Chains A and B, each alone.
Chain A
């Protein structure tokens, strides 16, 4: 027995032009979960470095004097902003985006993949530049900065699936 067709809530919410197959049975993307967890870890790490930079904590307990060298170098700031502060803001932005991208309709948002991938790409490039400065210019390594560079690299890899979503969005 068939009755009159009632549109499902999915259809009510369906953005115009979005391929229907992509809308049904969507589960929260696991890569965004990974981005959220890693960004939270990165935010704590960056906040710790920021606190040390501002003198709120005693020491960044490095095994050598290198952390002090890196933290006190002129490259530890971009204008008036401590690099670690930029890190905190970046990680929190990625955390917010990835959490938003796990919620209901926003799973299918076209903007979130762009912002997530773009943010992670900027982060990994900026972090790469800082790592280059540590290696070639300052000639000192801060292990916490290196850990942060590793985290943002993994975050970037975790955002690669967003490219498919970006392409799918552009095609429609």
Chain B
């Protein structure tokens, strides 16, 4: 019996240790964090910029990866914007994170995941995969595993990506984007702004291609 209790004790210690490590070993940041004024100045910049950084027009998109309309923008509108304005060098598209954390529990993590992929220079690919598979992870209790699987699909360095995702890396960057959006009156996603290198900054009434086209071909042409 003595040996039996030694075995039970050993299993309990090893199992408890593994469990402790698994639960406490890394907790991904899934909610906004506090950002100081200095950090806000430094971090309130786009998560990614599509197109020529020197393009005369800038389209700013405040987006939420768990938002169905943002998916439609990414899948249906953005390709037209790419073709019409970005590839021609007339405009660039800046992506700002604006996860609606009260509605979408995985949105903040998804924004961080995309930036973690961006650390390995695959932000656009990961951005597309997040939206392509949005229906798969939308209702998951935890989307962490799915986001790591997406990284594997892109052959990202799994150790680096997982380490990034399981930490609070980029939490301040996403939070700073959110503060920038709130200060700009963003309350829904996707919200688009357009400017020509500085003020005035125009907020578009919608996020369809026609909204962008109307500005670029009329208002933008006049400015």
Contact = CB atoms under 8 A, between A and B. Distances in A.
B182 interface: no
B201 interface: no
Nearest to B16: A44
Nearest to A67: B145
Given A28-B1, A59-B145, A68-B146, A36 B15 contact: no
A54 to B, nearest CB: 7
B28 interface: yes
Contacts of B216: none
A102 interface: yes
Contact of B18 (A33, A44, A64, A71): A44
A161 to B, nearest CB: 16
Interface string A9-45: 0000000000000000000100001001100110110
Contacts of B165: 58
A59 B148 contact: yes
B145 A65 contact: yes
B145 A71 contact: yes
A77 to B, nearest CB: 9
Contact of B145 (A28, A47, A51, A60): A60
Interface size class of A (residues with CB under 8 A): 20 to 34
Given A40-B8, A41-B11, A58-B26, A68 B140 contact: yes
A58 B27 contact: yes
Contact of B22 (A41, A57, A65, A71): A57
A52 B12 CA distance: 20
B26 A48 contact: no
A9 to B, nearest CB: 19
A58 B11 contact: no
A73 B95 CA distance: 32
A44 B145 contact: no
Contacts of B166: 58-59
Given A37-B7, A53-B141, A102 B18 contact: no
A60 B146 CA distance: 10
Nearest to A60: B145
B170 to A, nearest CB: 15
A168 interface: no
Contact of B162 (A47, A59, A67): A59
A62 interface: yes
A92 B59 CA distance: 58
B195 to A, nearest CB: 39
Contacts of B8: 36-37, 40
Given A58-B165, A59-B162, A41 B148 contact: no
Contacts of B27: 58
B19 A33 contact: no
Interface of A: 28, 33, 36-37, 40-41, 43-44, 47-48, 51-62, 64-65, 67-68, 71-72, 102
Chain A to chain B: the 6 pairs with minimum beta-carbon distance, closest first: A44-B15, A65-B149, A72-B140, A68-B145, A55-B142, A59-B145
